[in-house]
Amino acid sequence: MYHQKPVLPPTPVITRWNTWFEDVKYHQTYIGYLPSFINDEIRLFNDTEILMQLSELLVFSDSKSKLHNYLFDGGMPLMKLFKAARFLDPNQFKILSQNINDYSSNINSLERCKEEWPIYCNIVNDGIMPKSIPFQLKAVFANHIDFNDYIIGRHPIHYPKFNKVNCTLCKNRSKHKMQQKYGFCSNKDCFLKEECPYRTKLCVCLKHCDRLVQKHYLYSIGKHNSNSVLNVRRGLTEKAEEIVEDLIYNYDSKPKLIHVRMKKKYKHKIDYMPTLEQVQHYIKNRRNCISENNKIDELKPILDNYRYQYGVTKNDELFLFGVDLGEGTEKNHFHLVFTSYSLLKNIEFANKGGMFHLDATYKIVKYNYPLIVFGITDIKHKFFPICFMFTSHEQEEDYDFFLNV
Ligand SMILES: [Zn+2]
Ligand SMILES: [Zn+2]
């Protein structure tokens, strides 16, 4: 048995799953060589104890019967324990045996719970611990405004918590999230008697950052304690949102100032004056959309300091030359190209047989804007960067922009 280029088995690293797979893949390929190798060793060097052990291992008689036992004869260790532990899942326990002995034989400590056992059985079977609440779809909205219009004049709902889960509203389940909120009725009249049993679930698809295209699905269950209808609304009206946007654009985005300005200047224009909390809420949500986190306007004066000035900008000082501060939205891309005189000089390698490279790297900045790197390698394959560009998008037009500047 000879091999042209012997390869050693890879050593698995405990915390790196891939290395284990690599190891298995290696042995799967080369396992056939091992028996003949060990037989050759035994033939050449007599049967030492280790060699005998190895040859026994390789027959796999043991492993085979073990595998068969695990897979086909139900001999998996702990299988009984796992099966018994199913009583902890109320949904499964309902259809399983209610006899504690069926479980305590595998989970010994359950013997001490004999008194509590019937109580647990009752709780589960009364459905006090439902795993999922059977919400019913009540309405679908194409965007936040439609949803807001819908809730005018309805009972106010308090949403104490929300979570982000994979979107289930969209048919082709691409990997985006949706916000899922569970709401309780907070109408005072409903509370006078006892807690209102009305519950809602609101799902908002977060595929787009824009609230004008975010799908809203509203589910509900139960009936209100009272029929009183209050003229309260949670969100801002369309008109109010417009004014807030105007104020943010013209002044700044501090909720308190915006609220004051709205009261002073826009009271006559507005159909429904929002509370300060509502404005704060709106601006917080707005900021959560990535591109709104910082204002482009604030960036401009900073960037002005980095323009190239002949005789002033030093050779290894950074300067900008392709500045196109779009908002980073689909229609209005953001570009920022920068380099230094010394870096630009790297272009000279082109005359010495260098090769140009253009590539993008990700996750360097908070907004996940790609950083496009343009550089050159010399004949020794050493890389010299020439210039860099931050961009909001990575489409043809963005590369076009980069190559044109
Ligand atoms: Zn979606
Ligand atoms: Zn209610």
For residue 368, the model assigns a pLDDT of 57
pLDDT in the model for residue 119? 83
Q: What's the confidence (pLDDT) of residue 367?
A: 56
Please give the distance, rounded to the nearest whole angstrom, from the Cα atom of residue 204 to the centre of ligand 1: 8
DSSP track, 273-316: PPPHHHHHHHHHHHHHSGGGSS-HHHHHHHHHTTB--TTTS-TT
Amino acid identity for residue 230 in this structure: L
Q: What confidence score (pLDDT) does residue 290 get? A: 47
Residue 143, sorted as left (phi over 0), alpha (psi -120 to 50) or beta, turns out to be beta
- Whole-angstrom CA distances from 173 to 164, 207, 217, 236 are 15, 11, 16, 31
What is the 8-class DSSP label of residue 156?
P
371-377 and 355-361: which strand pairing? Answer: antiparallel
Per-residue pLDDT of the chain (405 residues; tens, 9 = 90+): 456 677 787 888 878 888 888 888 888 888 778 778 888 888 888 778 888 887 777 766 567 677 778 777 777 777 788 888 888 887 788 778 888 888 888 888 888 888 888 888 887 777 655 556 788 999 999 998 889 888 877 888 888 777 888 888 887 766 888 999 988 888 877 777 677 888 899 999 998 888 888 999 999 988 888 876 655 555 677 788 888 888 887 777 788 888 888 888 887 777 777 888 888 888 877 766 544 445 566 677 777 777 777 777 777 777 777 677 666 666 677 777 777 877 777 777 777 777 777 777 765 555 556 777 888 887 777 888 888 877 777 777 777 777 766
Distance 376 CA to ligand 1 centre (A): 42
Q: Are 349 and 378 in contact (CB under 8 A)?
A: yes
Compute the distance between CA of residue 122 and CA of residue 212 in angstroms, rounded to an integer.
48
Query: How close is the Cα of 96 to the center of ligand 1, in Å?
Result: 37
> What is the whole-number distance in angstroms between the Cα of residue 174 and the centre of ligand 1?
8
Other C-beta atoms lying within 10 Å of the C-beta of residue 153: 11
pLDDT at 139: 92
CA dist., res. 254 & res. 322, Å (int): 31
Nearest ligand to the C-alpha atom of residue 223 = 2
Enumerate residues 6+ apart whose C-beta is below 8 A from 309.
Answer: none
CB 179 within 8 A of CB 288: no
What pLDDT shows up at residue 405? 64
Using alpha carbons only, what angle is made at residue 97 by residues 91 and 103, rounded to the nearest 5 degrees?
100
Model pLDDT, residue 132: 67
Q: What is the CA radius of gyration of the chain?
A: 34
Q: Could you tell me the distance, in angstroms and rounded to a whole number, from the CA of residue 147 to the centre of ligand 1?
A: 16
Taking the CA of 217 as reference, the closest ligand is: 1
The strand order across the sheet containing 318-325 reads: 318-325, 334-340, 383-391, 371-377, 355-361
DSSP, collapsed to helix, strand or coil, labels residue 182 as strand
Report yes or no: 51 and 39 within 8 Å, Cβ to Cβ. Answer: no
Q: What's the CA-to-centroid distance between 232 and ligand 2, angstroms? A: 13
